[in-house]
Amino acid sequence: MKVLKELKFLFISLLFVGGSFILLSMTNDVQEDWPVPAEYKNMKNPLAGQADPGNIGKNLYKKHCESCHGKEGYGDGSKADELDTEMRDLTSDEVQAQTDGELYYKGIIGRDEMPNFEKKIPSKDDRWRIINYIRTLK
Ligand code: HEC
């Protein structure tokens, strides 16, 4: 009988621990888990540190990104309220501490509510100009 009691206790404990894990993963900040493949993470920005005298990056940001991310990158664009996914402030340390390659992957390849821009912004240089522009927002 004692063994049975112990088994019952073990079973209930396991259920409790399992349930807590499921709940935790549901409430987890979705943005914490956005793995970037190594080939993107370490991708070199060919235009790093280069000026953009025609403001191409800025204008493309305005055209394609501002509606969600907002003029200053704070995540307060006109469409932001319609989104289910919380956006990070692009000027924050969390975002700015990432490599150019990570920002490129998230900002161009995207996922779910963060659209893919490979077709809309075909020029690789233009994509990097947008990343460079995001660097000026901090
Ligand atoms: C339709 C709304 C929308 C548009 C337009 C949009 N984004 Fe996003 N963006 C999001 C959302 C939502 C997230 C958060 C996605 C997630 O965590 O799953 C995000 C996340 C990001 C991130 C990752 C930040 C982090 O959490 O580390 C970057 C970088 C980014 N966007 C760049 C861009 C760029 C560059 C453009 C324009 C070319 C753009 N976004 C256009 C909605 C948008």
The residue whose CA has the least distance to atom 37 of ligand 1 is 65
Q: In terms of Cα–Cα distance, which of 92, 93, 90, 108 is closest to 43?
A: 108
The residue whose CA has the least distance to atom 42 of ligand 1 is 114
Taking the centre of ligand 1 as the mean of its atom positions, its distance from the CA of residue 107, in whole angstroms, is 5
Query: Closest ligand 1 atom to the C-alpha of 117?
Result: 38
- Pocket probe for ligand 1: among 82, 106, 117, the residue whose CB has the most ligand atoms within 8 Å is 106
CA distances from 138 to 7, 39, 81, 132 (A): 56, 26, 23, 11
Taking the centre of ligand 1 as the mean of its atom positions, its distance from the CA of residue 26, in whole angstroms, is 21
**pLDDT by residue for the chain (138 residues), tens digit each?**
677 788 787 777 777 777 666 555 554 444 558 999 999 999 999 999 999 999 999 999 999 999 999 999 999 999 999 999 999 999 999 999 999 999 999 999 999 999 999 999 999 999 999 999 999 998
